[in-house]
Every structure is written in C-alpha cells, then in structure tokens.
Structure 1
Amino acid sequence: MVRQLRWVGTASLAVGLTLGMGGCDRAEPGNPQKDEGPVVALVGEGRITRQQFEAKLAEQPSFVRARYSTPEKKKEFLDNLVRFELLVQEAKRQGLDSDPEVRAMLEKVMVQRLVKAHTESAAGATVSEDEARAYYDANVSEFVKPPRVRVSQLLLKAARGSPERAKALTQAVRLSTEIQRGESVPRAFDTAVRTHSQDTATQPQGGDLGFRTREELIAAGGEALADSAFALKAIGQLSAPIETETGIHLLMLQGRQVGLDQRFDQVKARILQRMESERRAKALDSLVQSLRDKTQVEVKDDVLAQINPETVAAPPSPTAAEPLIP
C-alpha cells in the first residue's frame, strides 16, 4: 500500500538541507489519508503529491521560488524532498523515531501545537475595540502622565509677615552664595540641607521631595514653589530663594520626567495585543488547572531534594565532524 509522507519539522533532521525543507505527510497503517491530488514522486512506501510540493515551495521566499521555474530546477527542488524522505525512512528503520532525544523534541512540538490550538480557539480570546477602549479608560494614568520634576529643598521656616521672615531670607541668600562657591554644588547643597533645613520630614534625606507634578508642588508649597521647580533646567541647578507661606526655600533639581499624552488611537494596537495575550495566558492556565484536577500528580520530595543543579552536565553539542546533508 502506498502511504502518504509526513512533513517533518524537527531541527535534527532538517540540518544541512539547502532549502530548509521538511518531508511529506505519511499515513499510519489502517489510517488512510485523503486524496491530495496527483503524485509527483513515489519514495518507497511514501509519495509526494503536487499539493505537498506546491505547499513546500510556497514556504520559500519569493526570490527563491523564482529560481525554480524551469523543469530542471523543479526537479532539483523535488530531489531535495526525495533526499529528505529517504533519510527519514532510513532513520525510522534504524529505530531513531524511538530515540529519547527525538521523542523529547516531538513532545515539545506537540505541546506547542496544543497550546496554540487551545489559546487561539478559546472563547473571548479576540478583544473588541470597545473592550480595549474600556481598558484604556480604566488605566488612563498609564497612557496620560503630566511632566514631573524631582527636587531637593532647603527650608527655613518663617511665616509671612513675621519678624523672622527677613532673617530667613538673608540667611537663604547667604547659604545660596556659599553653596555655589564650592567645587561641588550638589554636595555643598546636601551639607547645607542637613545642617540648616528646618523641614524635619526631608532633612535626613538631603531634602529630597521625590518626583512631583506641578499640581502636587502647588499643593505642597504654592504656585511660586511649583513655578521655580519647573523653571530649573539642568540637573544640579540651584534656584534663587523662594518665598512661600511656610518660609524661604532653596531648591535643587535632581531629575525630570517628560509628560506622556497618548490618545487611545495611538495605543489601541498595543492594548489589543496585551489583552489578547493575557486572555490566551488565562485560557492556558485554565486548561492546565483542569488537567491537574482530573490527573493525579505526586511529587517525590526526597528524590527532588537529591538533585543538585550545579552538578547537572549540559548535553553535548554537535561536533564539527558530524556529516551534514548537502
């Protein structure tokens, strides 16, 4: 009985084929394949049909396919399929289809096919535009962010209109001059903060306020403080003394984050991809859990404890002397 050949996708069998071809479909005894059209070549008990030949040719890049327009070149292409099938049949005769390494590779391919088929067919795996927009609206802070600055402050407390106000302003001017006179302005500022700042919440951290938006700085110290912070351009730049209701501030710029304003249309494709990926992962988790629920799984902790990952030898790599298929 003539049997149909199987396309073989394993890397170990495909190495060295100039066209990177697989074989053809092969039916198992008692499980005949449907007719796939005219036969191009018979190889032992196998056959290569026109449909299979064309399918394999279609896998090649267009510039490669163009090389096989003449009868001679088409025979050359077919010869590669025949050569591959001859090797597959010989490998099976030698029992290599039962080799542990081959079976392990086959198991990997089967699991990949199972995961792909299950996740792609999972109900609700495709995300609609309305669902993507709802995700955008619920997570708008991820896509729309105001600019932020990170500043450190030296605060001299003195309420507006109090006798201490003028003294605090004079001291701030003096400290600013001393800080900028040093070789390292950031280091001098940090020392001044730890010595003179009266903001007990930030003084131990060198006055670091962290990243703040303009609105957050207005809430913390007023518009004058926010304006001065966002006016700083260079990292390590020191502000002039700033008057607020609380007192006199000196600010130093530590960092800046640009704003982000991504509209839904700009991120729709990314959201769709993310949501579909999450749904496929959830479908796979559900499949694995359902299999666990109906399958007994027993872990041998005593054997597991004896395994030392540091002493496990890596599998040998192919040697240069190993013959390649021309």
Structure 2
Amino acid sequence: MNKIFQLAFFIPVLCLGCQKDKATEAAKGSSYVLAGETNLSAQEQGQVVAKIGSKIITLQAFERYLNQQSVFARSRHNSPERKKDFLDNLIRFELLAVEAAKKGYDTDPDVQLAMKQAMVKRFTSKELSQIVKMGDITDDEIQKYYDSHPTEFSRPAQVRASHILMSDEASAVKLHGEIKSAIAAAPAKARRIFGEFAEKHSQDTLTQGRRGDLGFFGEPGKTSVKRPQNAPPVPSALARAAYKLDAVGQLAPGPIKGTNGWHIVLKSGYRRAFVKSLSDVRNKLRIKLFRKRKSTAMETYVKALMDNAKIEIDEAALKAAKANRPTRPMPSLAPPKPTPNQGGAK
C-alpha cells in the first residue's frame, strides 16, 4: 500500500488524542494518548514498543490504535510482519506530526477546528452515554410505539399500471387491437411494447414521457398507498380495471371510459401485502427509540448550556458573511442521457 495513503488513515483518530502542545513541547518524551479499550495489564500497558528520539510509543497506545481500525484492517495485522508494517507507518506519522508542530501547524485554524470537532464529538458521546442507555428503553415503550404506528409495519397489496389515453372510443379500440396483436407476438416483452405505444400515441402529457407509467397505487375504496408527490393521478375507473387483471404484463380486455377520455390499461407490477410482527421489529424499534431519546437528551443538554450562557449575535455582521462559491460545478444528480452509440434499450 502506498505509504502516503497509509498515513492518511492515522490522521482522524490520532486527532482524538491531540494535546495543546506547542512546537517546543512536541519534541518532548510524550506518548500517544488514544481512545479505545484495552485488556492489557498495567505493566504491559507501559511497555515501550518504539522510541522516536525522546518520544515513545507504548504497547497500550499501539494496541488501542490498532483496534480502532476496521475489522478488515485488523484481520490483516495479525502476523509479526504486518504489525511491523503498521508500526513503521505509525512512526512515519509521528515524525511528520512532530515536524508539523515545529513549523507551527498545531496553531493553524483548520487544525484547531478539526481538533475542536473531534473533542466535541468525543465529549458528547461520553456525556450522553451516561445520560441515556439502551437498557432504558422498556418493552412497554416498544409495544406502545408499535401499536400507534401500524403503517410503518404493514403494507397493503399494490398494483402498478401503465395507460394510454385516447380522446375517443373508436381510436382507443383500434389502438387496443394493435397493442393486443403486438403483445401476442412477444408476450415476454409486453411492458416494453406497451411503453413504446404509449410514447407514440398517448394523449396524456403527464405520462407520455414516462411510457405511460402511473406507478404503484392502492385498490380504490379499500386501501390507501402513499405515493410520491410527483406521481401522476390515477383515475378510479382505471385503478379498478388494473386490480381485476391477474398477471403482470396483462392487457385489460378493452378501453376503459374515464372523465377525460378512454384508457388502454396494462398491469405492469405487483407488490404483495405484508405485516411485520412485533418480534420481527423489536430490536430495530429499541434502537430507534434509543436514538430518539438520545437526540432529545442532547437538545435538552445544549439548551441548558445556552440558557446559562451569555450569547450576543450581531445580525448585521451575520448578514455580511458570504459562503465561498465552489470552484467547479456541482455534480449532477440526474443520470447521464445515453448517446446513440451507447447501445441502450430500443
């Protein structure tokens, strides 16, 4: 592994043990102060693994840092050779840290901010662990949440459909026959065939560009399904027709009359109904309620600090603050459009 790349792994965790040393203190014989648990005896903890001038790396410090690596990384450092490689990189990092401190980087605002962020993260983690514990969440609380949020643990059956809207019955009947014949010739491609017809012939501007797709919906008068905000409306007559179809890819027997024209309908998807029992979700709910309580405890803790602090805000100065513009365009969240030579679906 590239040495510089390896050294990068040391920076975030070692900052948890950063001291307020000045450059002159950096060269003194201090050992690492790292977070983590250890099973070493007192004598073993103080055993010196390596010396770097007057600085030392104790067995406790080495083991604690090693155990803060990922499970995969730890599994790769069981042999003496791997441990030696790991120690070599720790020494390299220490040399760079000492040199950086000598040159005054320990007082750099960005370095101070990183240390402060790590300190606050560790502080809040430790403090909250004393205020809120997982064992504080009772079975009664879990039961109450489960009973009062039924929609989180159950889902009714859902159907997905595509449609083509035509203005008059004659045109709809004619097009329905063409689609039926095309699907009969290639049943496995029913949804693709229907989508191509929808793009070419549908008069519904909301779904034409979506190949007629209406998304998933519930059965009219029986079940309610939460749909995306941008989901197109589903006429009740169309929905009832879709729920009468047995198989995905099945075409409705004929056009269905709606309030704004005639619909040709294809069932394009199906989701079974399900209900998760309390035993299925008990552990997840315990974690969810624990996190919620921890968040509430944090807000209460911070509010108390703010109430006891003298805080003054200069609104004019705040308005004058400006965020730097990015030096390059933000990446697009939309997938790139295929070009003709990419061989996409036809």
Q: In which range does the TM-score fall when normalised by the shorter chain?
A: 0.5 to 0.7
Map 1:12-23; keep pairs closer than 5 Å: 16-17=5-6, 20-21=9-10
- Does residue 231 in structure 1 map to residue 236 in structure 2? no
8 A contact 1:17–1:80 mirrored in 2: yes
Q: 1:64 and 2:57 equivalent?
A: no
**1:305 equivalenced with 2:322 (yes/no):** no
Does the Cα contact within 8 Å between 2:161 and 2:267 map onto a contact in 1?
A: yes
- Higher relative contact order, structure no. (Cα contacts within 8 Å, ≥ 6 residues apart): 1
Residue type matched to 1:230 in 2? Y
- Which amino acid is the alignment partner of residue 51 of structure 1? Q
CA contact (8 A) 1:179 1:189 kept: no
- C-alpha distance after superposition, 1:164-205 (max 9, x if no partner): xxxxxxxxxxx87764234779999999xxxxxxxxxxxxxx
Partner letter of residue 103 of structure 2?
A: Q
Deviation at 1:231, TM superposition (A): 1.5
CA contact (8 A) 2:132 2:294 kept: no
Structure 2 CA distance for aligned equivalents of residues 82 and 211 of structure 1 = 61
Query: Which one of the candidate residues 108, 120, 129 is aligned to 2:117?
Result: 108
- The match for 1:274 is 288
Q: How much does 1:139 deviate?
A: 0.8
1:141 counterpart = 2:126: no
Tell me, yes or no, if the aligned pair for 1:143 and 1:263 is still in contact at 8 Å: yes
Matches within 5 A, 1:220-299: 230-232=243-245, 237-238=251-252, 258=271, 259-299=273-313
Cα separation, 2, equivalents of 1:177 and 1:287: 70
Q: Does 1:180 align with 2:193?
A: no
1:254 deviates by 8.0
The letter for the 1-side match of 2:311 is: V
Counterpart AA for 1:180: V
Q: TM-score, normalised by structure 1?
A: 0.56
Give me the whole-angstrom Cα distance separating, in 2, the residues matched to 1:279 and 1:51: 34
TM value normalised by structure 2:
0.53
TM superposition shift of 1:62: 4.4
SS, match of residue 65 in structure 1: coil
| Residue 216 in structure 1 maps to residue 222 in structure 2 | yes
Inter-CA distance 18–260: structure 2 relative to 1 (3 Å threshold) = same
Q: Distance in 1 between matches of 2:199 and 2:172?
A: 8
Residues 281-313 of structure 1, C-alpha deviations (whole Å, 9 max, x = no match) = 222222221222112222222122223436577
Please list, as runs of the form range in 1=range in 2, the aligned pairs for 1:140-219 lying within 5 A after superposition: 140-148=150-158, 179-182=172-175, 211-213=217-219, 216=222
Structure 1 pair 125/78, CA: closer, same or farther in 2 (3 Å)?
closer
Unmatched 5+ stretches in structure 1: 1-13, 153-174, 192-207, 218-224, 243-249, 315-326
- Find the counterpart in structure 1 of residue 104 from structure 2: 95
1:176–1:130 Cα change, 3 Å: farther
* Mapped partners of 2:300, 2:266: distance in 1: 50
In 1, the alpha carbon distance for the partners of 2:239 and 2:5 equals 67
Q: 1:46, 1:118 → 2: CA distance?
A: 32
- Is contact 2:7-2:93 (8 Å) kept? no
Residue correspondences, number = 247
Does the Cα contact within 8 Å between 2:154 and 2:274 map onto a contact in 1?
yes
CA contact (8 A) 2:172 2:264 kept: no
Structure 2: segments with no counterpart, 5+ residues: 34-41, 163-167, 179-196, 205-213, 224-237, 257-262, 329-346
Q: Name which one, 1 or 2, has greater alpha-carbon Rg.
A: 1
Q: Deviations over 1:64-108 (max 9, x none)?
A: 323425xxx755544433333233223222221111111011111
- Check if 1:123 corresponds to 2:116: no
Change (3 A) 1:100 1:189: closer
Q: Distance in 2 between matches of 1:43 and 1:93?
A: 15
Given residue 244 of structure 2, which amino acid in structure 1 is its aligned partner?
A
Q: List per-residue Cα deviations over 1:210-237 (Å, max 9, x = no partner).
A: 95446638xxxxxxx9986631256895
- The answer on whether the counterparts of 2:252 and 2:264 sit within 8 Å (CA) in structure 1 is yes
Q: CA RMSD in A?
A: 4.9
Counterpart residue identity of residue 121, structure 2 = Q
Any conservation in 2 of the 1:133–1:264 contact (CA below 8 Å)?
Answer: yes
Q: Distance in 1 between matches of 2:170 and 2:198?
A: 10
